[in-house]
Amino acid sequence: MISMPCDSPGAGLIALGALRGYLEDADANDIELHRQRILDEDKKALDSRKVLLHRLHGKDNFRYGGKDSDDHDVIVQIPRAGKTALKNPPKYITFNFRDVYFEGEPCLEVNTGNELPYGEIYRDLIEHGGDVMESNLKKTFSGVCLAGRTMGENKTREIMSSIRFHSETQTSHLDKILSVHDWSCETISRLSFFNSRTKKMDRKLVSPQLVVADGDASFLKVLAEKENFGECDIIAIIDRTLERDRLEGIVEKMAELTQWYDTDNLLYEHLPPVPKGVSLAIWKKK
């Protein structure tokens, strides 16, 4: 838990740091998760609301059709309503898992020329940092999640957009660099988003590896979402200028958790000095 002396976009900056770290990891992508999800959906007869789109035939809606006679995966066009559907037979396409994605969610991978355009900014974020893998700028990754403010997604994005980054040839705002799917025109996303107000994720995924909660109310919502966040690390950003009863609510919640968690002083000692005005507390499972 990080206690800030004022309201700030600190949660977005910390999420950006995690995003930057995973850009160095060749395994930080959703390829295998995506493949397994399609296979699992087939076993469940693929919910009609979970429409598959093809990267090269995006104007058509498809569902997973299982295996053909040659043991290839196929998707089947969902006929449009009306007379047109009667005239045009369903379209069958043999596909690669990387070429399809679920409607309303980021696509899995893009070709060169369509990757995230912020590579220079990512590289310049950390002095003497590891190398950003260019291939990761073309692939979606959901292992880091930003849990937005309970006031709503728009309010979360508004405060993130107040921070601007400059590199030698690039300028962009934090909300764009985070690559949250609904905030950007980019087709891939390196950061999943949990809407604390509606309690909905922006994509279906297994538990992320890390969630960054923006504010006390968001943190409490994350703790309650055992299905989504029961197995991941949590970083909570708390504004110290909150009303006393809200701050006391956090203290009471952490007191409840002491039966399962201990203070992690060892990790604290190995971290860089905390900036003045900022307080840090770390807990680990017993």
What is the C-alpha to C-alpha distance for residues 41 and 143, in angstroms, rounded to an integer?
A: 21
Residue with tokens 């998707």: 75
Same domain, 81 and 165: no
pLDDT by residue, tens only, the chain of 286 residues: 999 999 999 999 999 999 999 999 999 999 999 988 888 765 555 455 568 888 888 778 888 888 889 999 999 888 766 566 566 777 889 999 999 998 889 999 999 889 999 999 999 998 888 999 999 999 999 999 999 999 999 999 999 999 999 999 999 999 999 999 999 878 899 999 999 999 999 998 778 999 999 999 999 999 999 888 988 999 999 999 999 999 999 999 999 988 899 999 899 889 889 999 999 999 999 8
94 and 175 in a common domain:
no
Strand 92-94 vs strand 73-77: parallel, antiparallel, or unpaired? antiparallel
Does residue 64 contact residue 73 with C-beta atoms inside 8 Å? yes
Domain boundary among the residues 102, 136, 157 is at: 102
**Shared domain check, 51 and 182:** no
Quote the number of domains for the chain.
2
Domain final residue, candidates 50, 84, 102: 102
C-alpha 18/C-alpha 20 separation (Å) is 5
Are both 153 and 271 inside the same structural domain? yes
Residues 14 and 39 in one domain: no
Tell me if 163 sits within 8 A of 28, measured CB to CB: no
The first and second tokens of residue 234, run together, are 């949590």
End-to-end CA distance of the chain: 17
Residues 6+ apart with CB under 8 A from 55: 98, 99, 100, 101, 107
Q: What is the pTM of this model?
A: 0.90
- Return the SS3 of 249: helix
| Residue among 109, 90, 87 at smallest CA distance from 99 | 109
Q: Rounded to an integer, what distance in angstroms lies between the CA atom of residue 255 and that of residue 137?
A: 41
> Is the dihedral angle over the CA atoms 103, 105, 111, 113 positive or is it negative?
positive
- pLDDT tens by residue, 193-228: 999 999 999 998 778 999 999 999 999 999 999 888
Neighbours of 244 (CB within 10 A): 7
Provide the residue range defining the domain that includes 131. Answer: 2-29+109-285
